[in-house]
Every structure is written in C-alpha cells, then in structure tokens.
C-alpha cells in the first residue's frame, strides 16, 4: 500500500507548529473517495477539489484509488488554505512522482490551474523550520522574501505545482531565495512626517520627546485644530529604528494578519495604527469568529497605537485596553487552546475637553453644561487614566506663532537625544516604562529635595501607588534625556507636571 509523509506547519497566534501530512492510497475508490482527517476546518476540507483540479491541470494526473490524508497531531485544529501544497505533494509522493520530503516543510494555496497563491504566516513557518532543524522551506513566490530573512533555512519560492515537482527532482537547478536587501538597509527609513512642520507647541513637543525616550503612554487634550493629530503622526519619526529581533516579531504579526504587500520583506518602520472610534472590541484586541486574528493592539506592537477622539470609543472597548497596557500581550481563549499575540505598544490618545471642544478655551465660548462635560470626560475611567504616564494640554496656537516663520527643531535632532536615552535604558535591560517595581526602587532613587517634591505632590494630588511608580519612571526618563545618572528634584517636578492634567479636568 503506497504510504507517503511530508511536513507542513500550522500557525497559532504568532507561533507556527509542525504538522505531519500523511497520505495512504488503496484500491477500490476509483478516485472518488478522498478522506481527510486530523481536525481540519472548512478551508482545509475544501482543499480536496482544489488539489484534484490542480494536479490534473498541471499534467500530473490523479490516482484512481481512494486517498486518506491525515494531518497530525490529530487533536489540534488545522486552519487555513496553506495545507493545499503539502497535501498535493504527499499524494504525488504516494504516486511515486517525487522522492522523500523529510528535510522539507511546505505551505501554499493551490489554484485550479496549479498556480500557488500566497498564504499568511510564512515568516512564522520559517522560524518554525529553523527551530526544528528542517533546512528547506517551500513557499509561494510572493512569500519568499518574507521567509528568507530567517537565517539557517533555505527558502524556495515557487509559482506553480509543476515547478515544485521539477525542483524536487532536480534541486541543483534551483537556487534558494534571498532577502530583498541587507538587514541594515531594511531597518532604516526616513520619517514621513517631521516635527519641523509643527508651529509652536513647545510643551507638547517636549512631552512627546520624553514619551518616545521612555516608551511612555500619552494623552493630549485640546480644542479642535490645535495640532493633536499632527503631533501624534510625528511621534513615530522620533522613535529608534527597529532592531532586527523587533522587526522579525513585528513582521510576523503583520504576516499573520495578511497585511504584508506581495513580495514584502521585513517592516522598515515602526507601526503607526490609528483605528476609527467605531471599532469593536475584537477589532481592537483581536479574535473574531473563526481563526483568531491579531487586533490593532498587536498590529501596533513595537510601535504607536493612536486613538483619536478618545471618549468616542465605546466604554467596553477602552476598558479592555487596561490588560494589554500592563502585560504587553493579549491572550485569546479558544476551544481547546489559548492563543497569545504580542502587544507592546505606546498608546497615544487625543481628545477634546468637552463635546463642543472649547471648554477652558480663552478665545471661544463653551456651549456645554457642566453635567454634559462631566459625562463626556467620565467615559475615560480612572484606572485607564492612571495607566497613562504623560497627560498634556495642547492649546490652540496663537496667530503670531503661526505666522512667525521660525524653523522648529527637526525630528532628526530629537531622535538623536531619544536614541541616546534608549541606549542607556538598553544597558539596564528594558525601557523605563517597562521597569519592574524592584528596578524602579533601585534606578529611581531620589535625593532629599526630590523626596520632598514627590511627597508634596502625592499628598496634594491624592495620587495612587501606580501613579507614584509612573512618576518615578518618567522622572528617570527625564534624567536620561538630561544625561544625568541621578534623578533630581527638577526631573521629578517635570514628571509631576505631566500628571496634573487629570486633576484639572476630571476633578
């Protein structure tokens, strides 16, 4: 009885796990029986018709026998169309058209004419192949550049089923794919937006530089047209370049979400995600019906999640942000398994001070009643607000500043200081916003004057223990920007200034 086995991989979360594809053929079916076992989902079960047509239209024929395909391990659900190619190869192996595939992993969706379509998660499959010491990976041509960035794996991009057969029978005629560019070139990119274009807003610019240096969350409050969105879009331009490890992890998330362009390789820029306020909780956190997909918090991993019109988001959507902000990851429960997606992002939120937008504006009259203002601000809960390290007011820019013609500091100059501060934090092992409590006590020790300033702020502002630690972390970042090994009173005072806005509006 012909029996053949090859390998593929299934993606769960951002991790891929090996799947053995076993095929057995026996007489009596006359090509009409095709049994697929191993917990396949609908897309996998539908592969039967695609495989038959692809093999026949590629001139490879189809066996006049019953075929049984097993996807092992059988207790784990298999999802997606990426199993088309390995199942077709296993059937062809059982027919004697190709030799052993023990040293190969393959993924790909088949068209009816035998063409191979791209699939999601090719980068994660390449990492899986390396971890399992499988040296050859066969992927659709559009996924080849993405997968080829993983060292230690020979990646072969293919466009047609017949091409795969030719490559397996004469491997010396085919060369593995290479990354599109050297790593250094891929990870460097000029920012699309520059802080040089921003008029005025000196305080906001300084606060965003502190946020970028320490990876702190930011809330900006100001009237319409004051430049909140303009400032937020320029924040990504003063964040340090992605390290190679960060680029790999970030690209894996976008690959699984199907957001990489055809032929795309590693992401060059830190992500900047700006979902609309009508987004659902599943869209923001991830999940959804069927196969779980990463949400906006994971797509913003190692980058910026910008939530404009912050109070307009549904209350339940905002509240579920609290867990990923604290844990830097999202866990989605599914029947029989839990999937985890990374979610280490910088939250940047922008909002008006009231529904009309002019509460507290010295030049425009606010039309909102106190009850309406409190109801509007009350959409942002205290626990969520407590997790935002830097809260700043962005007032309207005066006419003279708009017309002054002064050239502001560029994003490049700001980036130099941010990178210097991040380098100091890298020696400590993490960014300041991610410092554990034990490290906070050690790295943010205050002198006597600093202790007095902090104690006075805690008493007068009735700050929580979480706010206490976050003030210390921001103080440490300010000191790093100041090239100071010690946290002094002036650093603490600046950090406290970034925590006072919630008391001006929410009290």
Stronger pLDDT, 465 or 210, i.e. the higher one:
210
Instruction: Kindly give, in sequence order, each residue whose CB lies less than 8 Å from that of residue 37, ignoring residues fewer than 6 positions away.
Output: 68, 69, 70, 71, 74
Domain 435-507 in this protein, CATH class: mainly alpha
- As annotated, the residues of the chain forming the CATH 1.10.8 domain(s) are 435-507
Mean predicted confidence (pLDDT) in 177-193: 58
Question: For 78, which DSSP code?
Answer: B
* Confidence grade of residue 138 (pLDDT, cut at 50, 70, 90): very high
pLDDT at 507 over 70: no
pLDDT at 371 over 80: yes
Angle at 194 between CA 188 and CA 198, to 5 degrees: 165
SS3 105: strand
pLDDT for residue 477: 95
Angular region, 437: left φ>0, alpha ψ -120 to 50, beta rest: alpha
Identify whether the C-beta of residue 277 lies closer than 8 Å to the C-beta of residue 312: yes
- As annotated, the residues of the chain forming the CATH 3.30.230.10 domain(s) are 3-173
Question: For 290, which DSSP code?
Answer: S
Helices (H) and strands (E) in the chain, counts: 23, 18
Cα(17)–Cα(23) distance, integer angstroms: 20
Q: How does pLDDT run across 28-56, given as a tens digit for each residue?
A: 655 458 889 998 888 888 898 999 999 99
Q: How does pLDDT run across 430-447, given as a tens digit for each residue?
A: 999 999 988 988 888 898
Mean predicted confidence (pLDDT) in 501-507: 66
Stronger pLDDT, 179 or 183, i.e. the higher one:
179
Mean predicted confidence (pLDDT) in 118-132: 93
Calculate what percentage of the chain has a pLDDT beyond 70.
Answer: 94
pLDDT for residue 262: 75
Stronger pLDDT, 269 or 183, i.e. the higher one:
269
Domain 3-173 in this protein, CATH class: alpha beta
Mean predicted confidence (pLDDT) in 154-159: 94
Cα(295)–Cα(285) distance, integer angstroms: 5
Mean residue pLDDT of the chain comes to 88
pLDDT for residue 260: 85
Stronger pLDDT, 79 or 22, i.e. the higher one:
22
pLDDT for residue 188: 47
- Give which of 87, 104, 21, 97 is closest to 59, Cα–Cα: 97
pLDDT for residue 274: 95
Find where tokens 């912050």 sit.
310
* Confidence grade of residue 253 (pLDDT, cut at 50, 70, 90): very high
The token pair at 435 is 């410092």
Least confident of 77-91, 175-189, 370-384, 422-436: 175-189
Stronger pLDDT, 187 or 181, i.e. the higher one:
181
Identify whether the C-beta of residue 377 lies closer than 8 Å to the C-beta of residue 311: yes
- As annotated, the residues of the chain forming the CATH 3.40.50.300 domain(s) are 195-428
pLDDT at 158 over 50: yes
pLDDT at 280 over 70: yes
* Cα→Cα distances 77→71, 315, 334, Å: 9, 34, 11
Identify whether the C-beta of residue 191 lies closer than 8 Å to the C-beta of residue 172: no
pLDDT for residue 308: 95
Task: Enter the pTM of the model.
Answer: 0.87
Identify whether the C-beta of residue 507 lies closer than 8 Å to the C-beta of residue 399: no
Q: How does pLDDT run across 57-74, given as a tens digit for each residue?
A: 999 998 888 899 999 998
Identify whether the C-beta of residue 210 lies closer than 8 Å to the C-beta of residue 498: yes
Mean predicted confidence (pLDDT) in 258-287: 88
* Cα→Cα distances 453→125, 366, 450, 492, Å: 53, 35, 5, 7
* Overall fold of domain 195-428: Rossmann fold (3.40.50)
Q: How does pLDDT run across 309-361, given as a tens digit for each residue?
A: 999 999 999 999 999 999 999 988 776 677 889 999 999 999 999 999 898 88
Q: How does pLDDT run across 468-493, given as a tens digit for each residue?
A: 899 999 999 999 999 998 999 999 99
């Amino acid at each position: 009885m012909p029996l053949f086995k090859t390998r593929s991989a299934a993606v769960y979360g951002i991790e891929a796990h090996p799947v053995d594809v076993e095929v057995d053929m026996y007489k009596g079916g006359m090509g009409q029986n095709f049994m697929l076992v191993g917990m396949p989902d609908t897309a996998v079960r539908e592969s039967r018709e695609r495989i038959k047509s692809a093999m026949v239209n590629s001139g490879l024929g189809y066996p006049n026998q019953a075929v049984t395909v097993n996807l092992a391990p059988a207790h784990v659900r298999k999802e997606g169309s990426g199993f088309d190619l390995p199942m077709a190869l296993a059937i062809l192996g059982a027919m004697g058209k190709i030799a052993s595939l023990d040293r190969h992993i393959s993924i790909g969706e088949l068209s009816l004419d035998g063409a191979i379509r791209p699939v999601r998660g090719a980068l994660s499959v390449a990492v899986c192949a390396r971890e399992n010491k499988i040296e050859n990976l066969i992927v659709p041509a559009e996924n080849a550049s993405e997968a080829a960035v993983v060292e230690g794996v020979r990646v072969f991009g293919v466009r047609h089923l017949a091409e795969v057969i030719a490559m397996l029978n004469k491997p010396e005629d085919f060369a593995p794919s290479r990354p599109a560019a050297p790593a250094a070139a891929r990870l460097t990119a000029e920012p699309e937006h520059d802080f040089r274009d921003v008029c005025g807003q000196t305080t906001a610019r300084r606060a965003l530089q502190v946020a970028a240096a320490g990876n702190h969350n930011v809330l900006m409050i100001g009237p319409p047209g004051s430049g909140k969105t303009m400032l937020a879009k320029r924040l990504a331009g003063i964040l340090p370049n992605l390290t190679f490890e960060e680029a790999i992890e970030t690209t894996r998330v976008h690959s699984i979400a199907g957001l990489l362009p055809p032929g795309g390789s590693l992401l060059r820029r830190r992500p900047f995600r700006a979902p609309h306020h009508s987004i659902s909780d599943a869209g923001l956190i991830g999940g959804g019906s069927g196969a779980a997909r990463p949400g906006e918090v994971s797509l913003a991993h190692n980058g910026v999640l910008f939530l404009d019109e912050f109070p307009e988001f549904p209350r339940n959507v905002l509240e579920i942000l609290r867990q990923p902000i604290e844990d830097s990851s999202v866990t989605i429960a599914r029947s029989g398994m839990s999937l985890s997606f990374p979610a280490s992002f910088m939250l940047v939120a922008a909002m008006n001070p009231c529904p009309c937008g002019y509460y507290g504006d010295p030049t425009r009259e606010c039309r909102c009643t106190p009850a309406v203002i409190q109801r509007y601000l009350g959409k942002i809960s205290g626990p969520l607000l407590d997790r935002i390290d830097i809260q700043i007011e962005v007032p309207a820019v005066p006419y003279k500043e708009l017309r002054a013609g002064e050239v502001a500091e560029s994003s490049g100059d700001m980036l130099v200081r941010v990178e210097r501060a991040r380098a100091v934090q890298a020696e400590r092992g993490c960014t300041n916003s991610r410092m554990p409590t034990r490290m906070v006590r050690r790295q943010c020790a205050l002198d006597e004057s600093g202790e007095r300033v902090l104690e006075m702020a805690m008493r007068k502002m009735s700050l929580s223990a979480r706010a206490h630690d976050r003030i210390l972390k921001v103080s440490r970042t300010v000191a790093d920007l100041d090239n100071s090994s010690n946290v002094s009173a002036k650093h603490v005072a600046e950090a406290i200034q970034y925590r006072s806005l919630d008391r001006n509006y929410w009290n």
